Amino acid sequence: MSHWLRQHCQTFVLTLKRLARNPVATLLNVTVIGIALALPLGGYMLLQNLGSVAQRLTGAPQISLFLAPEAEKSDIDALGARLKQLPGVRALRFISRKQALEELKQSENLSDVIATLQTNPLPDAFVLEADGGSAGLELLESQLKAMPKVAHVQIDSAWVKRLESLLQLGRTAVLILATLLACALVAVTFNTIRLQILTQKDEIEVGKLIGATDAFIRRPFFHLGALQGALGGLAALGIVYLCMQILNRGIVELSRLYGSDFRLSFFGASDCFALLAFAAVLGWLGAYMSVSRHLSAIEPR
């Protein structure tokens, strides 16, 4: 086991030296891989941040129950007692027409408009806080609509559900983009290793003549592909982090105008490590495909 590990360490060091001897080619390959990974990675980071905002805004789902204009006090009392008995209703609050109008009068943007009204156009309403998922809310909504003296039912968190649907669509688009660019990363590594094999053709032939095994010959190319992929992943993290810092300058100013402290947050250590491992695996896969395709054609003459 120690001999096997020592061989891999030696190969890894030789691979680093080989990359250092060709800094321009190495930098170009790593940059291409980094940009290819940065595109889906940046989209995933944006969706992750928007998803966390949606989770904070969702809170306890609220349902607004607007009553018909002809509803009398006895109807309101009977409806309130019935609502309290419904399963899933955690809290109930009644807002009268007069109270709703007074709240609108306190708004600076609407006070002038409200002052011109001859009558109060607002209905009496109940505001419910409900438990349960989307299926439970839909069932509760249908029950509320069937109640007497109910004119309209509105789920106030419906826009959050639409946002979550859009986020799910975005995740699917990012996954498709990541798959396509992962194939491009494998292709870049495949071509790079192919050029390395052709460059070292004489060295490979000599190695086979003196008895080098296929595993011994393949090992440096596998290290090269994995290391190149990992460096590309590191470059992608750097690109996304730099873009995040630039975007946060504008986002912080915009959030301050809305009284919020929202700003984009970067990935955790586990996510960064997972990306580096994923990029290294893609690099190794490209090297494996290239070595399997081209190395067998090189035989000592």
Q: What is the pLDDT of residue 301?
A: 57
Give the residue with greater pLDDT, 275 vs 293: 275
Question: What are the boundaries of each domain within the chain?
Answer: 2-57+161-297, 60-156
Residue 62 above 80 pLDDT? Answer: no
Q: What is the pLDDT of residue 235?
A: 93
Q: What is the pLDDT of residue 241?
A: 93
Q: What is the pLDDT of residue 126?
A: 85
Mean pLDDT score of the chain: 79
Domain 60-156: which topology?
Answer: Alpha-Beta Plaits (3.30.70)
Give the residue with greater pLDDT, 207 vs 278: 278
CA 33 – CA 37 distance, rounded (Å): 6
236 falls in which pLDDT band (50, 70, 90)? very high
Q: What is the pLDDT of residue 234?
A: 93
C-beta separation of 187 from 159 below 8 A: no
Least confident of 9-18, 76-85, 222-231: 9-18
Mean pLDDT calculated for residue range 173-185: 87
Residue 256 above 60 pLDDT? Answer: yes
Q: What is the pLDDT of residue 9?
A: 76
149 falls in which pLDDT band (50, 70, 90)? confident
Residue 238 above 70 pLDDT? Answer: yes
Give 235: exposed, middle or buried? Use CB within 10 Å, 0-12, 13-18, 19+: buried
Number of H helices, E strands in the chain: 10, 4
Chain Cα centroid distance, residue 153? 33
